[in-house]
Amino acid sequence: MTNDSSSPPPSASSHQAPARGGRPRSERAHQAILTAARELLIEKGFAAMRLEHVAARAGVGKATIYRRWASKEALAQDLLAHLAAPHIAVADSGDTREELLAAVTNPMRAVTETDFGPVIRALLSQIASDPSIGDPFRATVVEARRAEIAKVIERGIARGDLRADADAGVATELLVGPVYFRLMFGGVLDLDFAKRVVDSAMRGFTA
Amino acid sequence: MTNDSSSPPPSASSHQAPARGGRPRSERAHQAILTAARELLIEKGFAAMRLEHVAARAGVGKATIYRRWASKEALAQDLLAHLAAPHIAVADSGDTREELLAAVTNPMRAVTETDFGPVIRALLSQIASDPSIGDPFRATVVEARRAEIAKVIERGIARGDLRADADAGVATELLVGPVYFRLMFGGVLDLDFAKRVVDSAMRGFTA
Amino acid sequence: MTNDSSSPPPSASSHQAPARGGRPRSERAHQAILTAARELLIEKGFAAMRLEHVAARAGVGKATIYRRWASKEALAQDLLAHLAAPHIAVADSGDTREELLAAVTNPMRAVTETDFGPVIRALLSQIASDPSIGDPFRATVVEARRAEIAKVIERGIARGDLRADADAGVATELLVGPVYFRLMFGGVLDLDFAKRVVDSAMRGFTA
Amino acid sequence: MTNDSSSPPPSASSHQAPARGGRPRSERAHQAILTAARELLIEKGFAAMRLEHVAARAGVGKATIYRRWASKEALAQDLLAHLAAPHIAVADSGDTREELLAAVTNPMRAVTETDFGPVIRALLSQIASDPSIGDPFRATVVEARRAEIAKVIERGIARGDLRADADAGVATELLVGPVYFRLMFGGVLDLDFAKRVVDSAMRGFTA
DNA sequence: TCGTAAACGAGACGGTACGTCCTGTCTTAAC
DNA sequence: GTTAAGACAGGACGTACCGTCTCGTTTACGA
């Protein structure tokens, strides 16, 4: 992208006013809306979350919400992106097992210890069915995590800890899939679970 | 009120009329409702599916729906249970790898080749967040699949194909988790994918 | 009217449901809406009368109002027609002056002693500017009054009380115009005023 | 704050800026607002006239309107007063019938040939129901017309053309009432009508 | 020739109401 | 006593304006 930033539809985020004169948009209102939306999304779920109630809880007029986000979906996606970002990176620790464990515990902790858990729980259907939420989420959060895990596998192969033909193309599924499976379908999500997933994935089932 | 047989909630299924005199319930209406509900759930998603539209498409009054299901959730769960049942069992084939592959391809085919796919996609949030849908689903479908896979692992160990300490407690997550991960977050769901999941899970990543 | 009653738009009144099956429209709701609308129209005026408040005061959903009247204007016009009807007729009393006085006091009393006063005050602009209200009002109420006064003039001429060329074409304007003038632009509306209007109109100003 | 001359409400008109330093009010903006307001009042009526649209059409910010007029009512009343003023005076012509005719044709022409017609049509309800518009209108326009007609009657009596007890207290109602009656309730407003009103009022109906 | 001060166009603010739609319940006539 | 039809009270939708409040800019006056 080399254009000089003048294109009106703010492709990625929703933060900018459409520029020029007039009273600037209130940052206070913006944050109040995001907070109220997160709370109500968690309390009521996506379907039962009412923008009318978000506005009331944020102490804001409905128009102030619609000025920034075109729909409930867009607001929810913004929320999701903000919450997911901090729990993706896996640092190069020198210890391959430790890094694989981090690949499991990162999403697990995000999901059990932060608001990302209830929020993504509330939005699973939308991510899976509604491209207007799903596509941006896949393009950013999911791809970032996949890339991070691919690097873990590469480093493990380079260290000689993992076999040379370890399948990086399904590693994310094998390591993170179990976490989301239990998020949806129940089962404890603790460190022991994470370790058993990593052990099984490393050693395999075969005798 | 002195009768004791008229209590409305039919504990298990929703199929029986409360018996007694009067015009019997129409089987035609029942099927028409389920079909219309399935179609609209797939077309619009759970949140945007309107009982008003279900009634209209089924050529039925709204009261006829409420007489049989207490809520939109109950109707959706009924739909889900009917669609999930046929894709769980894994036959004893004598070949452990083949059985593990079936444990992956069973849910994968259900999800890609039948209406179970779009329906569960539409209901993921409800399953994850709403116990009134999630609990029955977990208690039946998920537990049945978990038990089926546990038997596969047991048979594999008995045959000597799998190591004695293969962790059956996370095997379902390792084999089926990847399928749901891709269902939600994108990625092809084909036989090659299933084989790579099974291979990785059997051999492990370690050198 | 000889048509077979199947035409859907109820040309005159707003009372009939569009017929056939289903729950019939509630007469209680209908009356409650009319009462609440009359009260609020008088209290607040036409412009500041809110259908939301009419609904609330009547204990009715907004849709129940919109099912019967297409707009605030239609509801107001219905109100007006009901209130105007009883104050038009002038009985043949045998006394011409008495009948002319009745032609003045009839609208004067309607306007000062009944709800017709505040209601028409609130609707003057609509009657004068909006044919959808004005035309029906003119065709019924105004024409009826004009015909009634024409008969009074005729009887007066027949009795020899009025000159043979008394101009019936402007008699309504001369007798009723003053009442509406004061309704709009202020001035007392009492029996003395009515008598002075009648005296002036009978004797004329000329020496 | 210790000054006592800065109090904002300019008692009579709306034209003066509150004086002192600063940029003077723009006469261009003032006229543009009045023009846009007149057009929209005529096009849409008082209730549907939006200050937001007035501002847009005048190419002016909303605050610029509110700086000059406290409300939509005040703006409308200003409009009305400006338009009514030129059609009130009745010159002493020496001919009583001619002057009485002028008393009828003055408001008739204002109403049929100038913007005063559509404007007052749009404001009748407000004049009749809302003292904030009605009182100033009565105090200026109506009283001025009443005084003008009283002088016509006086001159007519002095000339011996009218009877000594001709009732000046209802003359305005008798002469102008018919014009407003037809403005509201329909009927042609032409010279023939004016002459018939004057003839009837002068000669009376009595034989 | 500069502040100082107010008005300017623009547009966001917290609200209220709009007219539509949907929910879950209720009421009818027909079968 | 179930059916299709449809009215009911309630309440959220997304839009449109209200009257107020910043903004950054423009225009005049007095120091």
pLDDT for residue A18 is more than 70:
no
Report which residue is nearest nucleotide E25 when distances run from CA to C1'.
Answer: B63
Lowest mean pLDDT among A3-12, C50-59, C72-81, C128-137: A3-12
Average pLDDT over residues B9-18: 41
Beta-carbon contacts of A155 under 8 Å, excluding residues fewer than 6 positions away, are: A92, A96, A99
CB–CB of C172/D171 below 8 Å? no
Q: Is the CB of C71 under 7 A from strand E?
A: yes
Gyration radius (Cα) of chain B, Å: 21
pLDDT for residue B47 is more than 60:
yes
pLDDT for residue B10 is more than 60:
no
- Rounded to 5 degrees, φ, ψ at D92 are -75, 105
Average pLDDT over residues C115-143: 87
pLDDT for residue B129 is more than 60:
yes
Q: Is the CB of A63 under 7 A from strand E?
A: yes
Q: What H or E segment, with its residue span, contains residue D103? A: helix D96-113
pLDDT band at D18 (very low <50, low <70, confident <90, very high): low
- Residues B98-128 have pLDDT tens digits of 999 999 999 999 999 999 999 999 889 888 8
pLDDT band at A6 (very low <50, low <70, confident <90, very high): very low
Chain C window 56-115: residues with CB closer than 7 Å to nucleic chain F are 59-64, 67
Contact state of B177 with A172 under an 8 Å Cβ cutoff: no
Q: Is the CB of D163 under 7 A from strand E?
A: no
Regarding chains D and B, contact by 3 or more CB pairs under 8 A is answered as no
In the prediction, which pLDDT does C2 show? 34
pLDDT band at B21 (very low <50, low <70, confident <90, very high): low
* CA distance to partner chain C, nearest, from residue D165 (Å): 8
Contact state of B178 with A196 under an 8 Å Cβ cutoff: no
Exposure letters B44-53 (e unless 16+ CB within 10 A, then b)? ebbbebebeb
Contact state of C121 with D142 under an 8 Å Cβ cutoff: no
In the prediction, which pLDDT does C8 show? 36
Nearest CA in chain D to C195: D170
Per DSSP, chain C holds a count of helices (H) and strands (E) of 10, 0
Average pLDDT, chain D: 88
Q: What H or E segment, with its residue span, contains residue D157? A: helix D143-159
pLDDT for residue D95 is more than 70:
yes
pLDDT for residue D113 is more than 80:
yes
pLDDT for residue B193 is more than 50:
yes
pLDDT band at A19 (very low <50, low <70, confident <90, very high): low
Q: Interior CA angle at A101 toward A97 and A107, to 5°?
A: 155
Higher pLDDT, A15 or A76: A76
- CA dist B200 and C80 (Å) reads 82
Contact state of A125 with B202 under an 8 Å Cβ cutoff: no
Nucleotides of F under 7 A from a protein CB: 1-24, 26-30
In the prediction, which pLDDT does A207 show? 67
Chain B window 25-44: residues with CB closer than 7 Å to nucleic chain F are 25-26, 29
pLDDT for residue C3 is more than 80:
no
Note the CA–C1' distance, A30 to E12, in angstroms: 12
pLDDT band at A130 (very low <50, low <70, confident <90, very high): confident
Average pLDDT over residues D78-83: 91
Chain A residues with CB under 8 Å of B137 CB are 185
Q: What are B131-140's contacts with CB under 8 Å, separation 24+? A: B132/B73, B132/B74, B132/B77, B133/B73, B133/B76, B133/B77, B133/B80, B134/A186, B136/B77, B136/B81, B137/A185, B137/B77, B137/B80, B137/B81, B137/B84, B138/A185, B138/A186, B140/B81, B140/B84
- CA dist A169 and A180 (Å) reads 18
CB–CB of A49/A40 below 8 Å? yes
Average pLDDT over residues A133-152: 92
Chain A residues with CB under 8 Å of B103 CB are none
- Residues D128-177 have pLDDT tens digits of 988 888 999 999 899 999 999 999 999 999 999 999 999 999 999 999 99
CB–CB contacts below 8 A, A to B: 182
Beta-carbon contacts of D77 under 8 Å, excluding residues fewer than 6 positions away, are: D132, D133, D136, D137
pLDDT for residue B13 is more than 50:
no
Chain A residues with CB under 8 Å of B122 CB are 125, 128-129
pLDDT for residue A10 is more than 70:
no
Domains, chain B, in order of start with CATH, read 27-68 (1.10.10.60), 82-203 (1.10.357.10)
pTM of the model: 0.82
Average pLDDT over residues B69-73: 85
pLDDT for residue C46 is more than 90:
no
In the prediction, which pLDDT does D4 show? 36
Chain A residues with CB under 8 Å of B161 CB are 206-207
pLDDT for residue B29 is more than 50:
yes
Chain B residues with CB under 8 Å of A207 CB are 160-164
Average pLDDT over residues A193-204: 93
In the prediction, which pLDDT does D3 show? 37
Chain A window 5-44: residues with CB closer than 7 Å to nucleic chain E are 17-18, 20-26, 29-30
CB–CB of B81/B143 below 8 Å? no
How much of chain B exceeds pLDDT 90, in percent? 45
Chain A window 15-54: residues with CB closer than 7 Å to nucleic chain F are 21-24, 50-53
CB–CB of C86/C48 below 8 Å? no
CB–CB of B125/B137 below 8 Å? no
Average pLDDT, chain C: 86
pLDDT for residue B179 is more than 90:
yes
- Encoded amino acid at D114, one letter: T
Average pLDDT over residues C101-128: 92
Average pLDDT over residues B89-101: 94
In the prediction, which pLDDT does A16 show? 53
- CA dist A160 and D68 (Å) reads 82
In the prediction, which pLDDT does C34 show? 95
Report which residue is nearest nucleotide E20 when distances run from CA to C1'.
Answer: C63
pLDDT for residue C11 is more than 90:
no
